[in-house]
Amino acid sequence: MGRRLISIKASYAFYNRVRFSQSNTKVKTTEDGNTILRLFDIPIAIANPQGFIEFSLQGWNTVTTRERLSALGINIQQRNGVLLVDGQEISVYSWYRTSWSIHNPPRDVVNSWTRIERR
């Protein structure tokens, strides 16, 4: 299944630290340099000033939350009721750090941005 255009636009804004707001999804960089992706005004991903990315489902294991994070390259799978990222079990409430930074997004994420560049 392809990513929704809103998720791709939010991903582009997040990695490029630019403001974005559409429907239930927002990206904003704070005065202290944190870039935050929010879904229904709940932060689900944060890039700190050094570029390290942390994410959380914030208790909302929904298709939309997982899809927004997937657009950042964070692929959450569910097997037998257990949530996994890169084969490691995660909690629906905890925060986790990605193995990459905002400065080197995954190739599939960058490739998805061509959908918005062609519009």
- Tell me the pLDDT of the chain (119 aa) as tens digits: 468 999 999 999 999 999 999 999 999 999 999 999 999 999 999 999 999 999 999 999 999 999 999 999 999 999 999 999 999 999 999 999 999 999 999 999 999 998 786 65
Q: Provide φ and ψ at 75, rounded to 5°.
A: -100, 105
d(CA 11, CA 9): 5
Nearest to 3 by CA among 73, 107, 62, 59: 73
Angle at CA of residue 15, ends 10 and 19, nearest 5°:
55
d(CA 102, CA 93): 23
